[in-house]
Chain A
Amino acid sequence: MITLIGGAAILTVVLFLVVRSFSAQIAQQSQDNVLGASARSILDAAVIRDGQVEVDFPYASFSMLSTPSDDRIFYVIYQDDKVLSGYHDLPLPTLLDDPDTKFLTNSYLDETVRQAVVSRQLVGAGLRTRITVSVAQTQENFAGTLARISRNALIFGAGFFCLSLLLALWTTSATIGPLRRLANSVAQRGPKDLRPIAKPVPSEMAPLVSSLNTLMGRLGQSLNQSEEFIAEAAHRVRTPLATVRSHAEATLHRVDKEDNRNALKAMIRAIDESSRAAGQLLDHAMITFRADHLERHEVDFAALVDDVIDRLNPIAEMKDVEFTTRGDRPIIVSGDPILLQNAVRNLIDNALKYSPSESEIAVELRAAPSPRLILQDQGPGFVPEEIETLSMRFTRGRNAQGTVGSGLGLAIAQDVAMAHGGALVLENRKEEGACVTFSL
Chain B
Amino acid sequence: MRYVFTLILLMSATLAGAADWEDQQVFNPGDGRQVLRVISNTDTSVFLPILEGYLAKNPDVSIAYFVASSQEVYERFRNAPEQFDLVISSAMDLQLKLVNDGFAQRVENVPHPSWAQWRESLFGFTREPAAIVINRDAFSGLAIPRSRQELIEILRAHPDRFRARAGTYDIRQSGLGYLFATQDARASETYWRLMEVMGSLQARLYCCSGDMIDDLASGKLAVSYNVLESYVSARTDIPETIQVILPSDFPTTMMRTVFVAREAPSFQQAIDFVKYLSATTLRGPDLDRFALPALGMGANLGAQSTITLDPGLMIFLDDLKRRTFIAEWENAVIQ
Q: Are B324 and A54 in contact (CB under 8 A)?
A: yes
Knowing that A63-B310, A109-B101, A110-B102 are A-B contacts, what are 11 other residue pairs whose CB atoms are under 8 Å apart, sorted by A's residue number?
Answer: A54-B320, A54-B324, A55-B320, A56-B320, A62-B312, A63-B312, A63-B315, A69-B119, A72-B311, A84-B320, A109-B102
Give Cα distance in the complex from A56 to B319, angstroms: 11
Query: Which residues of B come within 8 Å of A, CB atoms?
Result: 99-102, 118-120, 186, 308, 310-315, 318-321, 324
- A397 at the A/B interface (Cβ < 8 Å)? no
Q: Are A66 and B315 in contact (CB under 8 A)?
A: no
Could you name 22 residue pairs across A and B whose Cβ atoms are closer than 8 Å? A54-B320, A54-B324, A59-B315, A61-B312, A61-B315, A62-B313, A62-B314, A62-B315, A63-B312, A66-B310, A70-B120, A72-B119, A72-B311, A73-B314, A77-B320, A84-B319, A84-B320, A85-B318, A85-B319, A85-B320, A109-B102, A110-B102
Q: Are A73 and B100 in contact (CB under 8 A)?
A: yes
- A57 at the A/B interface (Cβ < 8 Å)? yes
Residue from B119, B312, B313, B321 within 8 A of A60 (CB atoms): B312
Q: Which residues of chain A are within 8 angstroms of B315 by Cβ–Cβ distance?
A: 57-59, 61-63
Q: Which residues of chain A are within 8 angstroms of B314 by Cβ–Cβ distance?
A: 62, 73
Query: For the complex, would chain A's binding face be called helix, strand, loop or mixed by DSSP majority?
Result: mixed
Give Cα distance in the complex from A57 to B320, angstroms: 9
B-contact 0/1 string along A63-105, CB 8 Å cutoff: 1011001101110010000001110000000000000000000
Residue from A56, A59, A74 within 8 A of B186 (CB atoms): A59
Give Cα distance in the complex from A55 to B321, angstroms: 7
**CB within 8 Å: A-B pair count:** 59
Q: Are B100 and A72 in contact (CB under 8 A)?
A: yes
Q: Are B312 and A66 in contact (CB under 8 A)?
A: yes
Interface hub of A54, A55, A59, A86 (most chain B Cβ within 10 A): A59
Q: Which residues of chain B are within 8 angstroms of A111 by Cβ–Cβ distance?
A: 102
Interface hub of A70, A77, A84 (most chain B Cβ within 10 A): A70
Give Cα distance in the complex from A61 to B318, angstroms: 12
Residue from B102, B118, B313, B321 within 8 A of A57 (CB atoms): B321
Give Cα distance in the complex from A55 to B118, angstroms: 27
Q: How far is the CB of B5 from chain A (nearest CB, A)?
A: 39
Q: Are B320 and A72 in contact (CB under 8 A)?
A: no
The A265-304 residues at the B interface (CB cut-off 8 A) are none
Give Cα distance in the complex from A109 to B311, angstroms: 17
Interface hub of B101, B318, B324 (most chain A Cβ within 10 A): B318
Q: How far is the CB of A247 from chain B (nearest CB, A)?
A: 122
Q: Which residues of chain B are within 8 angstroms of A70 by Cβ–Cβ distance?
A: 118-120
Give Cα distance in the complex from A86 to B312, angstroms: 14
Give Cα distance in the complex from A109 to B100, angstroms: 11
Q: Which residues of chain A are within 8 angstroms of B318 by Cβ–Cβ distance?
A: 55, 57, 85-86
Q: Which residues of chain A are within 8 angstroms of B120 by Cβ–Cβ distance?
A: 70
Q: Which residues of chain B are within 8 angstroms of A84 by Cβ–Cβ distance?
A: 319-320
Q: Are A56 and B311 in contact (CB under 8 A)?
A: no
Q: Which residue of A lies closest to B308 (CB)?
A: A63
Q: Which residue of A lies closest to B100 (CB)?
A: A72
Q: Which residue of A lies closest to B322 (CB)?
A: A85
Give Cα distance in the complex from A43 to B226, angstroms: 33
Q: Which residues of chain B are within 8 angstroms of A56 by Cβ–Cβ distance?
A: 320-321, 324
